[in-house]
Amino acid sequence: MQRLSSLDASFLALDGPHGAGHICLTALVAGRLDLDELRDLVEARLPFAPILRRRLRNVPLGIDRPWWVDDPDFDLTQHLFGSVVIGDEWRRELARTVAQIAEQPLDRSRPLWEIHLVQGSASDQTAVITKIHHAAVDGIAGRDLLTTLLDDRPPETDPSSDGAWHPASLPGTGEMLARGVLGVADLAGTALRLEAALMGRLPQVPTLAITSAARVSSGTVEWLTGTAGDAVPVRTRPRISAPRTPFNKAITRERAWAFGELSLDDSKAVRTAAGATVNDVLLSTVAGALREWLLRAEALPEEPLRALVPISVRTDEDKVTGNKIDLMTCPLPTDVADPLVRLTSVRETTAVAKAHRAIGADTLQDVASFAPPALATRAVRVVAAARLADRVRLPFNVLVSNVPGTREVLHLHGQPIEGLYPLPALSDGLGLNITIQGYRGRLHVGVVTCPALIPDPWEVLDLLVAAHDELVEQGRLRATHPSQS
């Protein structure tokens, strides 16, 4: 039995009227697979992923976080589903199907995961969608969990058992209440740690990151523009709240999803030339795409948008389950037209943001400790019912994640996996989430939106591809003709 961490428990609150705290990952398989084959494969891998046979057990009166307990009634058939997509546009039809899967909440009385097998009308069209709650895994762990379950190679370590599953007995009400009381007693020490960590830190982070855009060296600007006179815009009056956009409003239950690819090699070439990181290139690409989308919608703010960027701090020694992340906030220079100047602005501001991360993993745990899951869930429902996200602005506009991947080809029942495409969660006030999953030397992009705010995520995806291509081309021109503006 394992107590749910405070941060993991906070993801449960996303399961409100309009939100859902699970994450999905779609694997496109180069071959045909039926549900019986998938069931046999998953069943053989279950001993290597104990979280898949554990469910949540609440503490009486909701005084403490839930606990993971073995589910004595675990039934694999309740977690595996199959469907067929009919139509000529396989990718579009698949995207609609995956969005519908993501709209449905997971059953809290069971282990919080599902796997869906979706087949197309053609013989070689197969997709496997893993759906698991964010309370159980983060993006890195979710990727590793998929590898453990679906790779046709044997896992590296054998489970220490006789092959049969023997669930632990469920704790009684008295034991759970006693554990809850002990958990409440931990809050005093948590409060002291939190005060030390947050004292004077949070208010200065947005200011530091935004002001740093004025500190771009003249040599860098000259390399980017060909003239020493142009400069990155100076932001002298940073605000705590992010600017208003059409996608920072209350969301509905519906989801819309689009998926595609960017070239990792092209991103690395720009990174090297500009002295930036691949993540800087991706954030600059997002800034360019959102600038164009907002221009078309006649809704581009004068000040830059802000991104919330989760950063995994998971190590090889960490267990598969749970979340290990820092959160970084940084400006997206949507007010800058030149793609290379945008990149330099991102490079400079993220360097400051990384040095002054708003909330680290340990601090996040402490912050979440003061929000009992039952109370947090009720608060989310009140926010959704009152549509407070239409009137209250968050400190960021969009969530952008970059999940590192492998160049190695993964397999599913002997068939190569061609692509891995993420569909993360949405919440009120954050109606757009862009997540990039590295795999096989490509950057696989998932764009999830609420269709009431952004009807067509494929338009956003196309703009991301165009912004990336423009940045790559401008970088090549600057490297070839450094004296030309």
Q: Which of 217-231, 318-332, 408-422 is predicted least confidently?
A: 217-231
For the residues 206-232, what does the mean pLDDT come to? 40
Helices 139-150 and 35-45: crossing angle, nearest 10°? 110
In this model, does residue 236 exceed pLDDT 60?
A: no
Structure tokens at 15: 């399961």
| Residue 126: alpha-carbon gap to chain centroid | 24
- Active site residue ranges: 134
In this model, does residue 175 exceed pLDDT 80?
A: no
Phi/psi at 443 (5° precision): -105, 105
* Chain segment 343-361, per-residue pLDDT in tens: 999 998 887 776 655 554 4
pLDDT band at 167 (very low <50, low <70, confident <90, very high): confident
What is the rounded CA–CA span in Å between residue 435 and residue 310?
10
pLDDT band at 45 (very low <50, low <70, confident <90, very high): confident
In the chain, what are the helix, strand and coil shares in percent, each to the nearest 5?
40, 20, 35
pLDDT of residue 152: 54
Are 288 and 467 contacting, i.e. CB atoms less than 8 angstroms apart? yes
pLDDT of residue 146: 65
Phi/psi at 407 (5° precision): -80, -10
> Pick the residue with more confidence: 351 or 100?
100
What is the rounded CA–CA span in Å between residue 10 and residue 135?
8
Structure tokens at 117: 């097998």
Q: Are strands 22-29 and 256-263 parallel, antiparallel or unpaired?
A: unpaired
Is the C-alpha dihedral spanning 349, 350, 351, 352 positive or negative? positive
In this model, does residue 370 exceed pLDDT 80?
A: no
* Chain segment 243-290, per-residue pLDDT in tens: 999 999 989 999 999 999 999 999 999 988 888 999 999 999 999 999
pLDDT of residue 18: 72
pLDDT of residue 88: 78
pLDDT band at 448 (very low <50, low <70, confident <90, very high): very high
User: Which domains does the chain possess?
Assistant: 196-359+389-405+433-480 (3.30.559.30)
pLDDT of residue 247: 95
Q: Which of 163-167, 283-287, 365-369 is predicted least confidently?
A: 365-369
What is the rounded CA–CA span in Å between residue 80 and residue 74?
12
pLDDT of residue 198: 42
* Chain segment 16-39, per-residue pLDDT in tens: 777 677 889 999 998 888 899 999
Are 105 and 140 contacting, i.e. CB atoms less than 8 angstroms apart? no
